[in-house]
Chains A and B, each alone.
Chain A
Amino acid sequence: MNTNRHYPATRTTRLLLFVPWASEAGATSLSSAQSSTTIALVICAIVVLALGLALHREQRRRKVIEEALDASKIQQQALINTMVDAVIIIDDHGTIQNFNPAAESLFGYAASEVIGENIRMLMPEPHHSAHDGYLAQYRKTGVRRVLGRRSEVEARRHDGSIFPIELAVTDMKIHGQHLFSGLLRDITERRKVDRLKDEFIATVSHELRTPLTAIRGSLGLINGGAAGELPVQSAALIRLAHDNSERLLMLVDDLLDMEQLGSGRMEFRFDELALMPVIEEAVTENAAIAKKHAVQCIITRHPDEVWVRADYQRLLQVLGNLLSNACKFSPRDSTVEISIARREDRIRINIRDQGPGIAEELRLRLFMKFVQGDTGNTRQTGGTGLGLCISKAIMERHGGEIGFTPAADTGTIFYLEIAEVGATSGNK
């Protein structure tokens, strides 16, 4: 009996101790089948325990991640809620998902009034009617209208009033859902300041030009002999005064151009136009400066017919700037060569002078404001130091390029590059 009672107790002990092979006198009496079952049970128990442990660890890991995500969501929402700029998040059908407090105060709606509604409600025409179409087009083609850039548009408040905003839109994908996040800023005040600035510039321009017109006009008439012959010394002084009044006028023009380019208010009228007549006109307009410096401007080679998309007057301005610079820096009785060549789908205009070249220390700053090739006390060429900076900005608006390279022997080659358009598509 004792043995019978003892047997299961011994087996239980072995199981609990996980040492079935421990040397014990009674164990040797177990059959091999019993031994295999015991081992299988033990292995199962180990696997179950290991799985349980792994599951527990995974649950803990998930919990930590979820807590971190929750914290991140809370932080993000707090960030959105405290932003000075309005933030609106919509899905790819235009349904508002998020509307921060700045947006609430900007539009006069509570978030609860707009979340779930279509973003159209915040837009006046024409975007009010067209916005669904923009989104549908984006879903279909991926063509971006406002994504990734800043734009200025109009928005509509709860009370129906319309106001200007600056808008930056970015997109994101969360769990396969396409969302768009818009950052909006009221620019009513900025527009008012811009208007005042415009008026100020117009006034200053007019007020500076009126006396300058009279000064330059009077000096020009005397200089041209309209008021009779002058003694040699007086004539030299009048010429000096006349030249300087022209320089002052150029400075006013350049400053106005700079201001307009800087503020993006310079108007451009792009047409498809034949390039050669523009270059010929620039050479003709520059004839007086070339004559003054005893320099000859010649067009050495050009393709038969070249068409570009450009603003005629602005391109003329850039060419005039490069030609007058080339003449000013050329030695007397030298030649300024203009050549035009195709470079794949672009046109390159080279203007080569035989001047002293660009000083090493000026090369990196040449297209910056108020940089002049001829500095120091002996400066002889005149100019405002804005010409190349303006030319660069104008060429950028043309999607073109301006630059220079030292000529092989002496002088400098300034070049312009601009895209060529189909020769047969032009109409001017």
Chain B
Amino acid sequence: MSNNELQRILFIEDEADIQAVAQVALEAVGGFTVKICSSGEEALQAGEAFAPQLILSDVMMPGMDGPATLLALRQLPTLADTPAIFMTAKVQPQEVAQLRTAGAMAVIAKPFDPMTLAQQIKDVWRQHHA
């Protein structure tokens, strides 16, 4: 396995049902190792220890939302440059642009197709490292 191959994903999502679907989509279908956090605060506590290669985060969450969570994670030395992808309901182009400005390398529309989610993430990862 090359160093560039994506393996470890920190997944931040407040909805338990979506967590369950995404876990199967990412672990069983995609073969990734996933750490699930239910809030931005939890991600700040557990994020560094997990040492993710990619942060995959929901946008609308109670407390810290996706962009605020990413901003806070960026303050942690080991996560300062970790690539991030946001997942959010179909949004207007301007909102996508804002999320990209907030530090996301891609925005995946919700609801996602669980059978192709892993491949979508791999494609973004490959483009990012091309």
Q: Given the complex, which residues of B lie within 8 Å of A277, measured CB to CB?
A: none
Given A210-B15, A213-B21, A217-B18, residue A205 in contact with residue B89 (CB < 8 A): yes
Which residue of chain B has the shortest Cβ distance to A213 in the bound complex? B111
Provide the bound-state CA to CA distance between A16 and B17, in Å: 118
- Are A206 and B29 neighbours in the complex by a CB distance under 8 Å? no
Q: Given the complex, which residues of A lie within 8 Å of B113, measured CB to CB?
A: 220
Q: Given the complex, which residues of A lie within 8 Å of B20, measured CB to CB?
A: 214, 218
Over the window 189-212 of chain A, the binary record of Cβ atoms lying under 8 Å from chain B Cβ atoms (1 yes, 0 no) is 000000000000000011001111
* Size of A's binding interface in residues, CB under 8 A: 24
Say if the beta carbon of B46 comes within 8 Å of chain A: no
- Are B29 and A226 neighbours in the complex by a CB distance under 8 Å? yes
Say if the beta carbon of B3 comes within 8 Å of chain A: no
Provide the bound-state CA to CA distance between A217 and B114, in Å: 5
* Size of B's binding interface in residues, CB under 8 A: 22
Q: Which of B90, B94, B111 contacts A217 (CB 8 A)?
A: B111
Say if the beta carbon of B28 comes within 8 Å of chain A: yes
A216-234 with Cβ < 8 A to chain B: 216-218, 220-221, 223-224, 226-227
Which residue of chain B has the shortest Cβ distance to A217 in the bound complex? B21
Q: Given the complex, which residues of B lie within 8 Å of A361, measured CB to CB?
A: none
- Are A226 and B93 neighbours in the complex by a CB distance under 8 Å? no
- Are A313 and B24 neighbours in the complex by a CB distance under 8 Å? no
- Are B90 and A256 neighbours in the complex by a CB distance under 8 Å? yes
Say if the beta carbon of B68 comes within 8 Å of chain A: no
Given A209-B111, A212-B111, A224-B115, residue A217 in contact with residue B93 (CB < 8 A): no
Say if the beta carbon of A258 comes within 8 Å of chain B: no
- Are B115 and A221 neighbours in the complex by a CB distance under 8 Å? yes
Given A205-B89, A217-B25, A256-B90, residue A224 in contact with residue B114 (CB < 8 A): yes
Say if the beta carbon of B32 comes within 8 Å of chain A: no
Say if the beta carbon of B10 comes within 8 Å of chain A: no
- Are A267 and B93 neighbours in the complex by a CB distance under 8 Å? yes
Given A226-B114, A226-B115, residue A206 in contact with residue B93 (CB < 8 A): no
**Min distance, Cβ B121 to any Cβ of chain A, angstroms:** 15
Provide the bound-state CA to CA distance between A219 and B29, in Å: 14
Say if the beta carbon of A5 comes within 8 Å of chain B: no
- Are B90 and A267 neighbours in the complex by a CB distance under 8 Å? no
Q: Given the complex, which residues of B lie within 8 Å of A226, measured CB to CB?
A: 24-25, 28-29, 114-115
Say if the beta carbon of A152 comes within 8 Å of chain B: no
Which residue of chain B has the shortest Cβ distance to A210 in the bound complex? B15
Provide the bound-state CA to CA distance between A209 and B58, in Å: 13
- Are B15 and A221 neighbours in the complex by a CB distance under 8 Å? no
- Are B21 and A218 neighbours in the complex by a CB distance under 8 Å? yes
- Are A220 and B114 neighbours in the complex by a CB distance under 8 Å? yes
Say if the beta carbon of A253 comes within 8 Å of chain B: yes
Given A206-B60, A209-B110, A217-B112, residue A267 in contact with residue B92 (CB < 8 A): yes
- Are B111 and A249 neighbours in the complex by a CB distance under 8 Å? yes
- Are A213 and B112 neighbours in the complex by a CB distance under 8 Å? yes
Q: Given the complex, which residues of B lie within 8 Å of A249, measured CB to CB?
A: 111
Q: Given the complex, which residues of A lie within 8 Å of B55, measured CB to CB?
A: none
Among B21, B111, B113, max chain A CB count under 10 A is at: B111
Q: Given the complex, which residues of A lie within 8 Å of B94, measured CB to CB?
A: 267
Which residue of chain B has the shortest Cβ distance to A245 in the bound complex? B111
Which residue of chain B has the shortest Cβ distance to A253 in the bound complex? B90
Provide the bound-state CA to CA distance between A224 and B15, in Å: 23
Which residue of chain B has the shortest Cβ distance to A208 in the bound complex? B89
**Min distance, Cβ A267 to any Cβ of chain B, angstroms:** 5
**Min distance, Cβ A243 to any Cβ of chain B, angstroms:** 13
**Min distance, Cβ B87 to any Cβ of chain A, angstroms:** 9
Say if the beta carbon of B104 comes within 8 Å of chain A: no
List 17 A-B residue pairs with CB atoms under 8 Å apart, sorted by A's residue number: A205-B89, A211-B17, A213-B110, A214-B18, A214-B21, A217-B112, A217-B114, A218-B17, A218-B21, A218-B114, A220-B114, A226-B28, A226-B29, A226-B114, A226-B115, A267-B93, A267-B94
**Which B residues are within 8 Å of any A CB, using their own CB?**
15, 17-18, 20-22, 24-25, 28-29, 60, 89-90, 92-94, 110-115
Nearest first, the 8 A-B pairs at minimum CB distance are: A217-B21, A213-B111, A214-B17, A224-B115, A217-B114, A267-B92, A209-B89, A220-B114
Given contacts A217-B18, A223-B115, A266-B92, 4 further A-B contacts (CB under 8 A): A214-B20, A217-B114, A221-B29, A313-B93
